[in-house]
Structure 1
Amino acid sequence: MRILVVDDDPLAGEMTAALLEFQGHETLLANDAMEATNQLDAHDDIALIVSDMYMPLINGIELLDMLREQGITLPFILLTGDTPDDQLRQTPGLSACLQKDAALETTLEQAVAQALHG
């Protein structure tokens, strides 16, 4: 079971992947929506997607919408540098929306557990 991390900032993506790996998960990295769809096509054991919100061309919400249109219903956690508002948190199909802050290690672990195990 793997987690796909999508982030246009390689350092941020690697840091998110490192947090997840420290928590015992296998990760794959993608720099954008196109790489994300390629990873999803190549690996049938991806159980969860963790995506950055602000990326060029296709942002995290647009990626979520694109995947849902393709029938991909994997749990989807959105990360943002901003404080997420209620409207963003309540986006249909989103498992969680988390701020990239000092508490991310804890909040991400909780969100992943909830997304994977209900």
Structure 2
Amino acid sequence: MHILVVDDDPLAGEITAAYLEALGHEVVITPDAMEAVSQLDSTPDIELIVSDMHMPLIDGLALLEMLREQEVTLPFILLTGDAPPPRALDNPHLTACLQKDDNLDSTLAQAINHAFSH
């Protein structure tokens, strides 16, 4: 599966990509929301978006809302280094909100399986 990773921190993006590639997925990394939108336009086979929460200008939740307004309905997993904010947990368009911790590789795999098992 092709997955778009959006993270302004290059190292964090690479780590997330490595987890996903280890699961057999192909990954495209973008550093911000605007490049993510551009990548979605130019790469029609993307099936899932994994985005960091805290990014300059447009954060992960704002990106999700922007995509939903454009009728992009791809599953969307939000990653955060903090506890998930209430506005993320209450968002019906969000597939999952995961903490960037030592278990991210397994929780990410579980969230992806859950997203595509429905």
TM-score of the pair, normalised by structure 2: 0.96
Amino acid at match of 1:112: I
Q: 2: CA distance between counterparts of 1:88 and 1:39? A: 24
Instruction: Give the SS at the match of 1:40.
Output: helix
Q: 2: CA distance between counterparts of 1:113 and 1:98? A: 14
Alignment size in residue pairs:
118
TM-score of the pair, normalised by structure 1: 0.96
Q: 2: CA distance between counterparts of 1:86 and 1:54? A: 14
Task: Tell me which stretches of 4 or more aligned residues in structure 1 moved more than 6 Å.
Answer: none
Q: 2: CA distance between counterparts of 1:57 and 1:85? A: 18
Percent identity between matched residues is 63
Q: 2: CA distance between counterparts of 1:84 and 1:57? A: 19
Q: 2: CA distance between counterparts of 1:60 and 1:101? A: 18
Unaligned 5+ residue runs, structure 1? none
- Deviations 1:33-78, CA, capped at 9 Å, x for gaps: 0110111001110000000000000000000000000010000000
Aligned to 1:71: 71
Matches within 5 A, 1:32-111: 32-111=32-111
Aligned to 1:22: 22
* TM-align CA RMSD: 1.0
Is the contact made by 1:84 and 1:98 (CA closer than 8 Å) also made in structure 2? yes
Q: 2: CA distance between counterparts of 1:10 and 1:23? A: 20
Q: 2: CA distance between counterparts of 1:89 and 1:5? A: 20
Unaligned 5+ residue runs, structure 2? none
- Deviations 1:80-116, CA, capped at 9 Å, x for gaps: 0001145422212000000000110110000011112
Amino acid at match of 2:95: S
